[in-house]
Amino acid sequence: MKLLGKSLTELKTLVEKKEVSCEEIFEYFSKRVKKYNNGLNAFLTIQENEVKNTLPVAFKDNFCTKDILTTASSKVLDKYIPPYNATVVERLLNTGYFVQGKTNMDAWAHGASTETSDYGNTKNPWDHARYPGGSSGGSAAAVAAYLTPVAIGSDTGGSIRHPSSWCGVVGLKPTYGRVSRYGVIAMGSSLDCPGPMSLFVEDIALIMQAIAGKDSYDATTASIKVPNYFKSLTQPRKLRIGVPEDYFEGVDEQIKKKVDRCIDRLKKMGHEIKKVKLLSPKYAISVYTILQRAEVSSNLARYDGIRYGNDRTYFGEEAKRRIMLGTYVLSHGYYDAYYKNAQTVRTVIIEDFKRVFKDVDIVVGPNTPVTALKIGEFAKYPFFGELMDQLNEPASVAGIPALSVPVGLDKNNLPIGMQIIGNYFDEETILNAAYQIQKETDYFGVTKKNLEKYPD
């Protein structure tokens, strides 16, 4: 049976129907990983042994996996073996999955390229001379080259959405508080969102069903009931879709073109397209920069090399830079001007979204300002990570859910992603829209195209 490019949902069904066994699936993906991972460096750690009757899921290396090396792609943790599982890992292990492997990322999730990893770059499966994006670059690449059917990533300021766009896969940043952060190596405590990445929207729904919901170990998870995400996919709705002008500013023409094409298609499908006015993303960048760095400086204080890991001299340049700036914005005399002020603007951004969501169900726009950059081009952009994530940061700051869906290719055959932003805890509507796009357009042919380059 040809398994290449099959959704996790379908694999699950085939196993239930006994048309294929878990063992065969394990063998299948193991072979592909052996064949392609060296070239891509998507996985840092690979599970060699089969775990009976389970299906594979890959995890970004900032998810604590019991007894399996977890490094956050930093040399500080190069030998760290967690004695416990993150809740997301635990929940998936309890619903028939196993840890296929740990994927590469920007060290400590600091970046939008995966280049700051202490274990080498991950290559973009669409063009090995380019970045996959970040910080969940390894997860995105693994999914894009079908080394795994589903990968879990984390999104703080675009880290799921950004590499999803650059690698032509679907990636969801859930509402903050929808999915437990317990066991996810903390970057920005008020911003981090674990989430799924896949080639199929139904797989996103499948995984969300398993991982979403209140966790007594994470005080910031909401008690709001987890809906049946899968079910709502089968009930396509006609939506009011907001298009914010400000989110198209400074974006590459080819991206704008393909995003517009998708919006036109949505209009033809019967959805209502409305122009909306949202605050320019440039304010969210500042708020995000301040809050994230403050929280990073605090969250990385525990790495003193006493109980685990190496000492602080092992921190890379980006980590040190962020820790220093974070320390600055929290320091005596500067707290009010920076941190407190940022928390105030955060309120403004939240109110802004709340206002717009009174009139629309979702907001769409480009996900990244440019497509995958060539390795080495990083240095050209000042304050690189944040500017790459500029269109993602507003939703991060507000805590609302957002998804990236492939909507076309540029002249260099590089994927383009469209961002779908939804209201608090309304992942259902986002998935509903994304599924309609998937069914109607097959992502304009994007996801399957690259698989030709990665035959079995």
Regarding 344 and contact with another protein (CB under 8 A), the answer is yes
User: Among 373, 450, 414, which Cα is nearest to 145's?
Assistant: 450
Yes or no: say if 363 and 352 are a contact pair by the CB < 8 Å rule. no
Query: Which of 275, 332, 358, 380 touches another protein by CB under 8 A?
Result: 332
Among positions 38, 53, 331, 412, the unique one binding another protein when judged by CB under 8 A: 331
**Least distance to another protein, CB of residue 341, Å:** 6
Instruction: Determine the 3-state secondary structure of 275 from DSSP.
Output: strand
Q: In what order do the strands lie in the sheet with 55-60?
A: 43-46, 97-103, 55-60, 150-155, 193-198, 170-173, 402-409, 415-422, 362-366, 240-244, 272-276
Map tokens 């994230």 to a residue: 292
Q: Which one of 6, 60, 123, 258 is the catalytic residue?
A: 60
SS3 of 58, please? strand
CA distances 411 to 72, 131, 194, 416, Å, are 34, 17, 32, 11
Q: Shortest Cβ distance from residue 402 to another protein (Å)?
A: 14
Sequence-distant (6+) residues with CB within 8 A of 446 are 168, 406, 407, 408, 409, 415, 416
Instruction: Give residues 91-150 in contact with another protein (rule: CB under 8 A).
Output: none
The angle subtended at Cα 132 by Cα 206 and Cα 4, nearest 5°, is: 50
> Mind giving me the DSSP string for 90-153?
HHHHTTTEEEEEEE--SGGG--SSSTT-TT-PPPBTTBTTB---SSSHHHHHHHHTTSSSEEEE
**Residue 180 a catalytic site member:** no
Residue 287 or 414 having the CB closest to another protein: 287
Q: Does 219 bind another protein (CB under 8 A)?
A: yes
Instruction: For residue 433, give both structure tokens.
Output: 């829209």
Residue from 3, 14, 269, 350 touching another protein (CB under 8 A): that is 350
In angstroms, how far is CA 226 from the centroid of its own chain?
20
Buried b / exposed e along 106-137 (16+ C-beta atoms within 10 A): bbbbbbbbbbbbbbebbbbbbbeebbbbbbbb
Tokens matching residue 74: 């930093």
Q: Does 323 bind another protein (CB under 8 A)?
A: yes
Beta bridge partners, 418, equal 366, 405
Contacting another protein (CB under 8 A), which of 11, 57, 72, 259? 72
One of 40, 44, 184, 414 touching another protein (CB under 8 A): 184
Q: How far is the CB of 259 from another protein (least distance, A)?
A: 25
Residue 239 or residue 294: which is nearer to another protein going by CB?
A: 294
Catalytic residue (one of 7, 74, 135, 404):
135
Q: Is 379 in the site for another protein (CB under 8 A)?
A: no
> Considering only CA atoms, which of 207, 212, 115, 123 is closest in space to residue 167?
123
Told to check if 84 binds another protein by CB under 8 A, we report yes
Q: Is 218 in the site for another protein (CB under 8 A)?
A: yes
Q: Which one is catalytic: 73, 136, 159, 198? A: 159
State which of residues 56, 366, 399, 406 lies at the interface with another protein (CB under 8 A): 399
Active site annotation includes 159:
yes
**Smallest gap, in angstroms, from Cβ of residue 281 to another protein?**
11
Positions in 51-70 near another protein (CB under 8 A): 62-64, 70
Q: Which is nearer to another protein, 248 or 381 (CB)?
A: 381
Task: Tell me the window of 35-43, 51-59, 288-296, 411-419 that interacts with another protein (CB under 8 A).
Answer: 288-296
Residues touching another protein, count (CB under 8 A) = 83
Listed residue (362, 374, 410) closest to 244, CA to CA: 362
Task: Out of 2, 17, 48, 83, name the contact with another protein by CB under 8 A.
Answer: 83
- The total of other beta-carbon atoms located within 10 Å of residue 374's CB is 13
Q: Does 283 engage in binding with another protein (CB under 8 A)?
A: yes
Tell me how far, at minimum, the Cβ of 74 lies from another protein, in Å.
Answer: 10
- Amino acid at position 251, single letter: V
Residue 333: CB minimum distance to another protein, A: 8
* In the complex, minimum distance from the CB of residue 353 to another protein, in angstroms, rounded to a whole number: 11
Least CB distance from residue 9 to another protein, whole Å?
29
What part of residues 293-322 is at the interface with another protein (CB under 8 A)? Answer: 294-295, 297-298, 300-304, 306-309, 312-313, 315, 317, 320-321
Answer for which of 105, 141, 290, 405 binds another protein (CB under 8 A) is 290
Q: Which residues form the catalytic set?
A: 60, 135, 159
